[in-house]
């Protein structure tokens, strides 16, 4: 399951196949349009340089928090203070809506800017924490990929961001290493 916060974090892309190539997509107009459309968020495109710098700083802090959670650690008070400072920049309005025979409260962002987008990303990350699912945050075990993802499996044992891409690649690498080792014996 892809989440708003993980999609934002993974805007720093690494070639999962092992070429060593990587790119920071956060400042790319094409990625910005994709991201806003994918998550139905309004903001001006392209984002200006100062905004992109602020988003990179936010991504770096959020990445650090995710790495600590993936390692089984907890967040510090300053992490929560930082997340709250980002959340403060995004005003919301409330809407009550019928949903499958019940009712739910929906929070809708008021601003149409990148600060609002970052607040929505922080809120998405916070929701994961509030649900007590910080332990489901993982880092892909493909050392070339390093994507951060939410493990939505029932037994919480997902090792790769995508079993068809990274999972198969690592399986092939293990098989070939084993064959080479057998050839030496």
Rounded CA-CA distance 36/149 in Å is 19
pLDDT of residue 133: 85
The domain segmentation of the chain, as residue ranges, is 4-184
pLDDT (tens digit, 9 = 90+) per residue, 164-177? 777 666 676 666 76
Contact 62, 125 (CB under 8 A): yes
CA-based nearest residue to 134, from 86, 85, 66? 66
pLDDT (tens digit, 9 = 90+) per residue, 130-177? 988 888 898 888 887 888 888 888 887 877 777 677 766 667 666 676
Reply yes or no on whether the pLDDT at 68 is more than 70. yes
Contact 69, 75 (CB under 8 A): yes
The fold of 4-184 is Jann2411-like fold (1.10.3300)
Residue 2: band (very low, low, confident or very high) from pLDDT cuts 50, 70, 90 = confident
CA atoms within 13 A on the CB side of 5: 26
Distance spanning both ends of the chain, measured CA to CA: 43
Which residues lie below 8 Å from residue 118, measured CB to CB, with a gap of 6+?
54, 55, 58, 86, 89, 90
Q: Above pLDDT 90, what percent of the chain? A: 57
| Residue 128 Cα to chain centre, angstroms | 11
pLDDT (tens digit, 9 = 90+) per residue, 27-67? 999 999 999 999 999 999 999 999 999 999 999 999 999 99
């Amino acid at each position: 399951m892809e989440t708003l916060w993980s999609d934002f974090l993974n805007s720093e892309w690494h070639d999962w196949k092992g070429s060593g190539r990587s790119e920071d997509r956060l400042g790319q107009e094409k990625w910005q349009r994709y991201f806003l459309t994918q998550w139905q968020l309004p903001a001006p495109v392209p984002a200006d340089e100062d905004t992109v710098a602020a988003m990179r700083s936010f991504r770096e802090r959020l990445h650090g928090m995710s790495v600590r959670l993936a390692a089984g650690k907890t967040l510090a008070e300053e992490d929560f203070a930082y997340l709250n400072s980002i959340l403060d920049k995004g005003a919301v309005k409330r809407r009550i809506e019928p949903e499958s025979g019940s009712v739910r409260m929906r929070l809708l962002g008021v601003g149409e800017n990148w600060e609002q987008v970052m607040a929505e990303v922080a809120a998405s990350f916070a929701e994961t924490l509030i649900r007590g699912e910080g332990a489901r945050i993982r880092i892909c075990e493909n050392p070339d990929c390093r994507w951060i993802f939410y493990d939505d499996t029932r037994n919480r044992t997902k090792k790769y961001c995508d079993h068809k891409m990274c999972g198969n690649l690592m399986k092939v690498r293990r098989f070939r290493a084993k064959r080479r080792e057998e050839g030496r014996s």
